[in-house]
Amino acid sequence: MPRLYVEDTLRIVEAQLDYTPESSNRLWFLKGDLLDILVEYKDKTWLYARKGTVGGSVLPWYVTPPLQSVEAQVDYTAKEADELSFSKGDLLDILLDEKGNSWLFARKGTTGGNVLRWCVTPPLRSVEAKYDFTAKEADNLSYLKGDIIDILSEWESGDWLMARKGKNQGLVAKSYMERTVLKKVKATSEWVAKSSDELSFKQGDIMEVFDEREGNAFFSGRKGDKEGLVRKDCATSA
């Protein structure tokens, strides 16, 4: 007896795309059809499903609803058979996102494959490199003074940022980056730094602000060629 008559249904899924099989052991269906998934193979390359009284193999990404749709931030040419090629601006459906994994599984049109997370991560901000840097470790990013670097993530503590330059990704030193100026402020009173990470300034001094998180008593900013913390209650918009 064919297995489609004896296997229990694991779950019912809705087809996300039309599929015309290239061989007789695969299942034909249209977008929106409901399929009974009967077998999920360990390698997760194929599923065995039933539609009505017909059974056949199904590619998983044809029946997996997207977690989210994202825009590719760079061009990428697949280096392995299980990777996905795409161009900057392509919309990709993310189907599997495992925490701590640098790879995502995604769908572009009717093709599924692995995608490097940083290729689809929008930048928090873009900054200009202040100096040349040649990577000394495999996870570092090389760049030249003046290069525009996309910052992808940053940590509350530590001297490194996760960044992208063109098609390359890696860690960059905070101290080598030119920060994005959010606004300029003018000191309303004199302030003498109480710690080494604060800026001293006089009434009327103009300072550039990089970060102004709510609930914090300080800006992160710069006066001249010195960077440090600036008391919010001692400054106003310039």
Cα 206 from Cα 203, distance rounded (Å): 9
> Residues 78, 79, 82, 85: what is their CA dihedral angle, to the nearest 10 degrees?
0
Residue 1, pLDDT score: 43
Domains of the chain: 3-62 (2.30.30.40), 68-119 (2.30.30.40), 125-178 (2.30.30.40), 183-237 (2.30.30.40)
pLDDT digits (tens, 9 = 90+) for 91-125: 999 999 998 899 999 999 999 999 999 999 999 88
pTM to 2 decimal places: 0.67
**DSSP string of 154-189?**
E-SSSSEEEEEETTEEEEEEGGGEEPPP-EEEEESS
Residue listed under structure tokens 């100096």:
131
Predicted confidence band at 183 (pLDDT cuts at 50, 70, 90)? Answer: confident
Neighbours of 1 (CB within 10 A): 5
Q: Compute the mean pLDDT over every residue in the chain, rounded to the nearest whole number.
A: 88
Q: Could you tell me what percentage of the chain is helix, strand and coil, using 3-state DSSP and rounding each to the nearest 5? A: 5, 45, 50
The burial of 175, by beta-carbon neighbours within 10 Å (0-12 exposed, 13-18 middle, 19 or more buried), is given as exposed
Instruction: List, for residues 51-84, the tens digit of each pLDDT value.
Output: 998 999 999 999 999 999 999 999 999 999 999 9
Give the 3-state secondary structure of residue 124: coil
94 close to 84: Cβ distance less than 8 angstroms: no
Strands, sheet with 218-223, edge to edge from the N-terminal-most edge strand: 226-231, 218-223, 206-211, 183-187, 235-237
Question: How does pLDDT run across 3-29, given as a tens digit for each residue?
Answer: 555 567 899 999 999 999 989 999 999
